[in-house]
Structure 1
């Protein structure tokens, strides 16, 4: 069955997979949802939340389910004890999903008019929309919800602009920052938000979420178990692994790294596979795997008390992250980026 797409396309949209704003199903995170509902019912919901956790586990979906809960229960004293699944046929659901509801502002990476893709950061112009949004009076006294997704992607100017909004928010306003790595945020932003840490989905929730998204796991038990293990509790990771060649890309990169000159032909083959005009998702998978290799090796060095190597690998991770950002921002040659990244990984692993 074809997905009826309501939400605008975003930088990380996957074909036939619902966006968080148009997903009526929430899997896992029962404890967090219960805590947020209890805080609201007690009149103690903070004005700003950080939903922190790995990519693809449902943080933004939880944010939109919380927005629905607030909008459908304007009086906290009579709100139910638990979130109820939004009705996909309701006007409220369709307005929120399409970005047309006057009480919900969803900020993410904007489109890049030059490349026809998306910018690599959440820009200050996006954050400036908050002031205009909050200046409009809520006619029925309902909550207004601002979702920044992901807040990790804000550049410095955007972060400083958001900080001003967080300092004196209007009543009945909730900021929800979707964050993959809380350490990437300004400490002054973190100090003004309550952090809710979300964990990867358990196996049952992950498989149920995949079924719900129309992307079921393989029937064969061994393949199913391998997918669950490599996905790490992330629905997005599982879909990328199965539908976009993620397993093959990760395995190819793992083979190439460490082979030095012997792996040159394989490196070029991998670069051709992930750097094509229509391979933006594969390119992203490659970059994420490269970062994971550096992060995992740094963690292993730290566990072995080899702190100089851990520091060098951490620096290499930051350099790799900057190279990815520059390639996306300036539309640089992707094949050259891939080959340079492989060289970077080989050098880092020899440290």
Structure 2
């Protein structure tokens, strides 16, 4: 059972937990690939669900877990009338006993491996430790007598320390009978190559505007501009929820509006943006603003090579990008500035530099670059 007094390491703030999310949007190809493997009767014991953070990997893992614990493998079926036709979807009725037990984290054939709560420091651990993997191994030993399918979700596999990763590798190399491992990974390159080689990959794609709107609606979040949210979030529902909760679309619109004045910098708008970043209790918004700076510079760099992106993420964005990044020379200048400002931002946060001063410094550097690009030849 989950302890309501402790935060859950695998929950996005402001959104339902993936186990409480019925449907995953925009990932039909991944679902179809899994169903095809299941129907073949020769399904792999290890699955690596990859893709950007927030595109539905954990939601799909829970859908697969519910499905596996309520459906027998085709190779295991028989009887007088033979096997029924293979399932066409991963859907499981929400009132199914297994679905109810999974929602309550009380299903005896399921194990969730994630960062644990540190009672001594009163916070979530920063890594999945080997002790948690040992608990997983003990679970397999205790549940073996029950028979039937068993499922373990690892969320996120990237968060395992070296000892935990090696312990999990041993389980993947010699998997217990009837067990399916579902590893959620935001950065699979960080995993041991031997772990990756023991799993079949399901790569999830970024969500487009229509799927983004549907996913946000399911999460109870209103998408005022799903196209802009899809563009700024990189197709990540989790990031889109953060944008909505922190007024990210309005913040990005202010940044675009400020950039429209370059290289004749509107200092009043610059100071207003800096003050918003430095407001009391605005730490999360400041972090988001730094992300939006980096994103805007990346869109500037791409515009010089590919043209302004469509659709716009803010009113007037396309015109501003086209003017400030008209060619490959400009694109290179903005790409170089993005690297420089990214390093400045990381250093500034590390030494607790005043947020307002950091924002002003970044805007002034942008103004200098815009002046150099737009200067007459």
**TM-score bracket, shorter-length normalisation:** 0.7 to 0.9
1:105 is paired with a residue of what secondary structure? strand
5 Å-filtered alignment, 1:164-179, equals 164-179=170-185
Of 224, 227, 234, the residue aligned with 1:232 is 234
Deviation for aligned residue 1:63: 0.8
Structure 1 range deviating more: 123-132 or 179-188: 123-132
1:70 Cα shift?
Answer: 0.9
Deviates more, 1:112-121 or 1:47-56: 112-121
Q: Which residue of 2 aligns with 1:191?
A: 197
2:79 pairs with 1:81: no
What runs of 5+ residues in structure 2 fail to find an aligned partner? 76-82, 307-327, 370-377
Deviations 1:62-119 (A, max 9, x none): 1111111111112334473323422223331121122221222122222344554433
Contact 2:6 2:117 in 1 (8 A): no
Equivalent pair of 1:210/1:217 in contact (CA under 8 Å): yes
Contact 2:10 2:156 survives alignment (8 Å): no
1:158-203 CA-partner distances (Å, limit 9, x unpaired): 2222222222111211111111122121212111111111111232
* Partner Cα distance (1:116, 1:17) in 2: 23
Task: Judge which range, 84-93 or 54-63, deviates more.
Answer: 84-93
CA distance in 1, matches of 2:344, 2:195: 25
Residue by residue over 1:222-264, the C-alpha shift from the partner in whole angstroms, topping out at 9 and shown as x without a partner, is: x4432333233222222211123333555678899999xx878
Q: Are the structure 2 counterparts of residues 49 and 12 from structure 1 closer, same or farther at C-alpha, using a change threshold of 3 Å?
A: closer
TM-score by length of structure 1 reads 0.73
Q: Which residue of 1 aligns with 2:19?
A: 21
Q: Distance in 2 between matches of 1:162 and 1:340?
A: 46
For residues 339-350 of structure 1, what are the structure 2 equivalents within 5 Å? none
Distance 1:322 1:132 in 2: 44
TM-score by length of 2: 0.69
In the aligned structure 2, how far is the partner of 1:162 from the partner of 1:337? 43
- Comparing 336-345 with 89-98, which one deviates more in the overlay? 336-345
Counterpart-to-counterpart distance in 2, 1:300 and 1:233 = 19
Instruction: Give yes or no for contact 1:313–1:348 (8 Å, CA) kept in 2.
Output: no
How many residues are matched? 330
Secondary structure class of the residue paired with 2:170: helix
Compared with structure 1, are the counterparts of its residues 214 and 131 closer, same or farther at alpha carbon in structure 2 (3 Å cutoff)? same
Equivalences for 1:153-168 in 2 at 5 Å? 153-168=159-174
Q: What are the within-5 Å matches in structure 2 for residues 234-273 of structure 1?
A: 234-248=236-250, 267=274, 269-272=276-279
After the TM superposition, which of the residue ranges 121-130 and 194-203 deviates more from structure 2?
Answer: 121-130
Structure index of larger Rg: 2
- Does the C-alpha gap of structure 1 residues 302 and 313 become closer, same or farther in structure 2, counting only changes over 3 Å? farther
SS at match of 1:216: coil
Distance 1:215 1:9 in 2: 20
2:28 aligns to what?
Answer: 30
Equivalent residue number for residue 47 of structure 2? 49
Counterpart among 145, 151, 162 of residue 157 in structure 2: 151
Report if the CA contact (8 A) 2:19-2:59 is conserved.
yes
Displacement of 1:289 in angstroms is 5.0
Q: Flag structure 1 segments of 5+ consecutive residues without an equivalent.
A: 328-332
Output the aligned Cα RMSD.
Answer: 4.3
Q: Distance in 1 between matches of 2:12 and 2:365?
A: 32
Distance in 2 (CA, whole Å) between partners of 1:266 and 1:295 is: 20
1:227 and 1:164 map into 2 onto residues whose CA distance is 41
Return the offset for 1:17. 2.6
Aligned partners of 2:14 and 2:245 also within 8 Å = no
